[in-house]
Amino acid sequence: MNLRESVGIALGGVRANKLRSFLTLLGTIIGVASVIAVVSFVEGMNRYVTEKILNAGANVFAVDKYGLIMSREAFDIANRRPDVTLDDADALRAGVAHASLVVAMSEGRENVRFRGKVMKAVNLHGRGAGYDVVDDIAIEDGRHLSEFDDRQRRPVCVIGPEVAEELFEQLDPIGHDIRVGDRNFEIVGVTKAKGKLMGQSQDRFVTIPVQSFKKFFQERGSLTVGIKSVDEASLPLAQQEARNIMRARRHQRPGQPDAFGITTSDTFLQLYHAVTGGLFVVTIGVAAISLLVGGIVIMNIMLVSVTERTREIGIRMALGARRRDILSQFLVESTTLSLSGGLVGIVLGGGLALLVGAISPLPAALSLPAVLMGILMSTGVGVFFGSYPAVRAARLDPIEALRYE
Amino acid sequence: MLISIRELHRVYQVGDQEVRALDGVDMDIEQNEYVAIMGPSGSGKSTLMNILGCLDTPTKGSYRLKDLEIASMSDDELARIRNQEIGFVFQTFNLLPRADALHNVELPLVYAGMHHEERRARAREALSIVGLGDRMKHRPNELSGGQRQRVAIARALVNRPSIILADEPTGNLDSRTGEEIMLAFENIWRQGNTVILVTHEQDIAEHARRVVRMKDGRVEADHPNPHPRAVAGAPVPGA
């Protein structure tokens, strides 16, 4: 009925006393801002994780020496395990019936040179055939590494677009030799750009055949074997087969823990959910406390307002306002008050998330659900903490209210 | 009969003591009467006014306004009656300090649920009638006492109520301004409205055409006023 009037009164009050309004709404602002900021981060991370990590590794799992290490003790134990070797990879390729692909992988970092230009600490991938699927990379120019390259331990490589650009600029890199560490490798392909993941470039690498890698860079040292199952349903079967084969090759008795690690995208997902879940709990705690304090302050201000305006309430009642008109007027006022705090919080929290997203590798996305949640929370605070003062106002006796000095 | 009051009692509980503010009041008021209710403080006139204005309900007895029994009404029904049938004018004006004159006058229509444009038009009209057509955008603190009271009169008139109920309307005004206000009531009455004045001042009461004297919660005297006090600018017939 007189919604516009009530909103106008509330906003007029906010404007008339900016410092008091700011202090009044600080709790609500902080509560909403922290929720918006964290939800924005988690939303951004979620989008990232689903887009990048999961798509790339669909139905893929890895067998390696370590698995997912969460503590120093676990590392010490895992470090004493036997290395995963090319023979293990061959055995898995031969034995895992539900695998469509088994790829041996090795990682290193080397300086890369071409005609006096140097790129330091470039990711060096040793890869068996089929790596394009597991690494989710496509060729822009030239060709992929072949099984023949691998078997012959040829000094050939495929490079990422960032390496191509930095070392070759306008020049076509295909057919040129680059120096990786202290070995020459002929470039046979350049991959398509993939962009960044968690702030790390995915285009700054040199991939060589895994057997070349073993020969030139790492005669000893453990491999990772990437295995892709035939389809989603056979993923657990393929894992079980891989486990059986590895246990047999390690001569493990039943009951002994695996002397190797099996990691799936699920493993990362669980870790990820554990981290973000913890973040959520902390945020909800902070937000709940801020909103509680903010709500009490709003309630206090509204009680003051009801007392200050007792006479106004009496006048309105004399002129025909029903109790519920007075109730809704004060509820609209407290809600307008807290909602304006909520909107400031949304802007602040969203701004913070976007700022951090812009200057750090952490991704952030201001999502509609987060904004709606902020609006809903601040509205809730206004209605909940505004109801007691509003009920007090509505219950006033018109005669006494009119007489109030 | 516009107002019909029978055996009206109003008892307050103050601590252990019962205070009989009204102790059996009978009164009838016709359409378009001009009545002054007089009495010293403690006589029960304020209590009677609160009940007449539907701000309060009697402990016992009957109050019928336009054949509606007010005594048994709920809060919401009372609010509706106040909105539609009563126009209050208070001693202290009781305007909303932060609203301009136009908005103050609009307020009863807001609670009547009237549409914005119609409300505006009616409020403008009422302000013009009391001679404040050029002060609509002024806030109460930008108006003189007499002007404030005229805003309050416009507000009382805007809903075209059955009763204009004025509680010491000149109490906060100097005598010249008070005369102005009494002239306004005279005109309102002449236009066919029912005016009830509550006052303890003999001078003011003498403007009315009927004077009811209250004492100790009862009607002590109730008689017509054959020689109403003349108001400057208003010819009094028969004088």
pLDDT of residue B118: 93
Taking only the tens place, the pLDDT of each residue in B103-132 is: 999 999 989 988 889 999 999 999 998 889
B230 or A345, greater pLDDT: A345
* CA-wise closest residue to A84 among A241, A235, A246: A246
Cβ contacts of B112 on chain A, cutoff 8 Å:
320
Task: Evaluate whether B87 touches B130 at the Cβ level (below 8 Å).
Answer: no
Least confident window among A166-170, B33-37, B75-79, B119-123 = A166-170
User: Given phi > 0 = left and psi -120 to 50 = alpha, else beta, which region is A42?
Assistant: alpha
Q: What are A267's two structure tokens?
A: 């493993």
The span from the CA of B239 to the CA of B229, in Å, is: 9
The span from the CA of B230 to the CA of B239, in Å, is: 8
The span from the CA of A209 to the CA of A224, in Å, is: 14
Task: Evaluate whether A283 touches A291 at the Cβ level (below 8 Å).
Answer: no
Q: Are A320 and B108 inside 8 Å of each other by CB?
A: yes
ipTM of the complex: 0.92
Taking only the tens place, the pLDDT of each residue in A190-223 is: 999 887 766 678 889 999 999 999 888 877 788 8
**With an 8 Å Cβ cutoff, is B111 touching chain A?**
yes
The span from the CA of A318 to the CA of B78, in Å, is: 10
pLDDT of residue A56: 54
The span from the CA of A174 to the CA of A129, in Å, is: 20
User: Given phi > 0 = left and psi -120 to 50 = alpha, else beta, which region is A330?
Assistant: alpha
Task: Evaluate whether A203 touches A156 at the Cβ level (below 8 Å).
Answer: no
Tell me which amino acid residue B124 is. Answer: R
How close B232 comes to chain A (CA, Å)?
A: 31
The span from the CA of A202 to the CA of A112, in Å, is: 16
Q: Are A318 and B98 inside 8 Å of each other by CB?
A: no
pLDDT of residue A403: 87
The span from the CA of A144 to the CA of B49, in Å, is: 99
CA distances from A392 to A21, A306, A323, A329, B115 (A): 22, 8, 10, 12, 29
Tell me which amino acid residue A202 is. Answer: Q
Distance of CA B76 to the CA centre of its chain: 20
Q: Which residues, in sequence order, are bridge partners of residue B19?
A: B12
Length of chain B: 239
How close B68 comes to chain A (CA, Å)?
A: 17
Q: What are A100's two structure tokens?
A: 């469509």
Taking only the tens place, the pLDDT of each residue in A362-379 is: 667 777 888 888 899 899
Distance of CA A106 to the CA centre of its chain: 27
How close B93 comes to chain A (CA, Å)?
A: 10
How close B228 comes to chain A (CA, Å)?
A: 30
Q: Strands A139-142 and B60-65, how do they pair?
A: unpaired
Q: From the first residue on, what is the mean pLDDT of each consecutive set of 10 residues in chain A (405 residues)?
A: 70 75 86 84 73 64 85 86 90 90 90 90 90 85 90 92 89 91 92 79 91 85 88 87 92 89 78 78 83 90 91 93 90 89 91 81 74 90 94 94 87
Cβ contacts of B111 on chain A, cutoff 8 Å:
1-2, 316, 319-322, 325
Other C-beta atoms closer than 10 Å to the C-beta of B92 total 16
**With an 8 Å Cβ cutoff, is B14 touching chain A?**
no
Q: Which residues, in sequence order, are bridge partners of residue A197?
A: A200
The span from the CA of A47 to the CA of A353, in Å, is: 15
Other C-beta atoms closer than 10 Å to the C-beta of A270 total 12
Q: Tell me: pLDDT of B76 over 90.
A: yes
Q: Which residue's structure tokens are 């009925």?
A: A1
Give me the percent of chain A exceeding a pLDDT of 70.
95
Q: Are B79 and A323 inside 8 Å of each other by CB?
A: yes
**With an 8 Å Cβ cutoff, is A12 touching chain B?**
yes
Q: How many CA atoms lie within 13 A of A347 on its CB side?
A: 5
Mean pLDDT of B21-46: 92
Q: What are B8's two structure tokens?
A: 């009206």
Taking only the tens place, the pLDDT of each residue in A71-103 is: 888 888 888 899 999 899 999 999 899 988 899
